[in-house]
Amino acid sequence: MSNNALTFIPDDFMRLKNLKTFVAKNNLLNEFSFPKEFECMQVETLNMSGNRFEDIPIQFLKMTTLQSLSLGGNRLKNIPSEIENLISLEMLYLGGNLISSIPPEVANLTSLRYLVLCDNRIQSIPPQLNKLHSLLSLSLHNNLLTFLPREILSLVHLQELSLRGNPLVVRFIKDMTYDPPSLIELAGRTVKSQNLPFRSCDLPSNLIHYLNLASECPNPKCAGVYFDSCVRHIKFVDFCGKYRLPLMHYLCSPQCSSPCSSNPQSDAESEEENSVPADRLQRVLLG
């Protein structure tokens, strides 16, 4: 049904009860072109690339049998949180749209193997994507990325990462921003770092909740914690012995930042870089 200037899908189409693959590329379809009953279709592969979608139709987001969804080359500006309903999805192609952010709910697509988000306007990657343990390929080229979350190292099965055409930082940046901690943060850090005991009968419930939000500093030489105030720190990590990717770290204070060094294999960086297996990514495409 591709290349036919279609503007809607007729109700009679719902009679195709056994249809598994539906391809209608390069038409004039949008999010209002489908009957409500379309969500009941047992389609496994749906390709609507090259149409005029500004939003993903709500019917698509209820099709739990979908294994492959392609909406490349449309006018999508966002990915709805309901995307997490597509529990069988293995391939999601949203390249060539106007998407500026990725909702953390994408991380709930635990069967996802291929995620294509190239040629958009994405500025950052949510760290929650580290839960995509089945992911083999992640295409992020031609976006607005300047760094990657350090959690991407947890994607143990990732074989291909495409990053070309992004304004990734080209040199080590020591301290990006640091707001001095508030009094409550300083007190909370002391309580947590000194392992001071506290009980619900000792403190108000809001302070108990606050203390439970402490994040451990990822610096292996630091035993500190932080709450709201932290140092955003870029660290280059070696992949495949060839490419050095800028990953974002959140440290508890500037004292945890490694001294800036012009040596790409400085001692400050080597410990973490050596923790990344050379075969972790078979292909890292930067240019």
- Using an 8 Å Cβ cutoff, are 189 and 225 in contact? yes
Task: Pick the more confident residue, 200 or 124.
Answer: 124
**Which stretches of 10-67 are DSSP H helices?**
none
Mean pLDDT of all residues belonging to the chain: 79
pLDDT tens-digit profile of 6-34?
888 888 888 888 889 999 999 999 999 88
- Residue 88: exposed, middle, or buried by beta-carbon count in 10 A (0-12, 13-18, 19+)? middle
Mean pLDDT of 249-253: 63
pTM for the predicted model, two decimal places? 0.67
Q: Among 178, 202, 141, which residue's Cα sits nearest to residue 211?
A: 202
Residues whose CB falls within 8 Å of the CB of residue 90, separated by 6 or more in sequence, listed in order: 67, 68, 111, 112, 113, 114, 134
pLDDT at 233: 57
Q: What per-residue confidence (pLDDT) applies to 283?
A: 59
CA distance readout (Å), 228 to 24, 208, 215:
48, 15, 9
**How distant is the alpha carbon of residue 29 from its chain centre?**
28
pLDDT in tens, 146-199: 888 878 878 888 888 888 888 875 433 333 445 667 778 778 788 877 888 877
Highest mean pLDDT among 142-151, 220-229, 244-253, 274-283: 142-151
Query: Quick one: average pLDDT of 65-89?
Result: 95
Is the pLDDT reported for residue 45 higher than 90? yes
Higher pLDDT pick, 233 / 197: 197
Q: Which domains does the chain have, with CATH numbers?
A: 11-162 (3.80.10.10), 183-226 (no CATH)
Beta bridge partners of 70: 47, 93
Query: Which 3 state secondary structure label does DSSP give 184?
Result: helix
